[in-house]
């Protein structure tokens, strides 16, 4: 499975409050559609699958919200693509496929979110590496 393309179609960032006391940050991914892509541009023995998603980061209680809507396209072996499309008819996603697309969404969206969190002076939704002093023995 290969990631062919990834793009955002909508980004919305709002800060409602400066009260960061007892802050809770919740994230979520919602897959809104999965469909086969027919393309003359990509000639491959593999099938192309498009995934539409929504990724949200909520700063509770009503402090801020980041909203990302987008699409990604992956190439899959034909039998795997058929299985994904078959399960999607029941709004289910095979675990191995879900793992790959969720990781792609998290990676791309989190990088973009960090930019906005910095601009809107919000705490980061994920911890970044930091250096700490060595403990003296």
Structure tokens at 30: 């919602």
pLDDT at 43 over 70: no
51, pLDDT greater than 80: yes
Q: Phi then psi for 59, rounded to 5 degrees?
A: -95, 105
Q: In the prediction, which pLDDT does 137 show?
A: 73
Class of domain 2-119: alpha beta
Q: Which strand ranges, in their side-by-side order, compose the sheet holding 2-15?
A: 2-15, 64-76, 47-60, 24-37
pLDDT (tens digit, 9 = 90+) per residue, 7-18? 999 999 999 998
C-alpha distance across the termini of the chain, in Å: 49
Mean pLDDT within 48-64:
94
pLDDT, tens digit (0-9, with 9 covering 90-100), for 67-125: 999 999 999 988 999 999 999 999 999 999 999 999 999 999 999 999 999 999 999 99
């Amino acid at each position: 499975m290969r990631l062919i393309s990834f793009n955002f179609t909508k980004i919305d960032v709002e800060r409602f409050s400066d009260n960061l006391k007892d802050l809770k940050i919740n994230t979520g991914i919602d897959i809104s559609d999965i469909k086969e892509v027919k393309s003359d541009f990509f000639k491959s023995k593999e099938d192309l699958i498009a995934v539409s998603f929504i990724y949200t980061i909520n700063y509770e209680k009503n402090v801020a919200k980041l909203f990302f809507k987008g699409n990604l396209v992956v190439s899959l072996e034909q039998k795997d693509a058929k299985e994904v499309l078959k399960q999607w008819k029941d709004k289910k996603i095979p675990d191995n496929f879900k793992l790959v697309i969720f990781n792609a969404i998290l990676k791309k969206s989190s990088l973009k979110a960090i930019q906005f969190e910095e601009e809107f002076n919000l705490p980061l939704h994920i911890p970044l590496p930091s250096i700490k002093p060595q403990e003296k023995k």
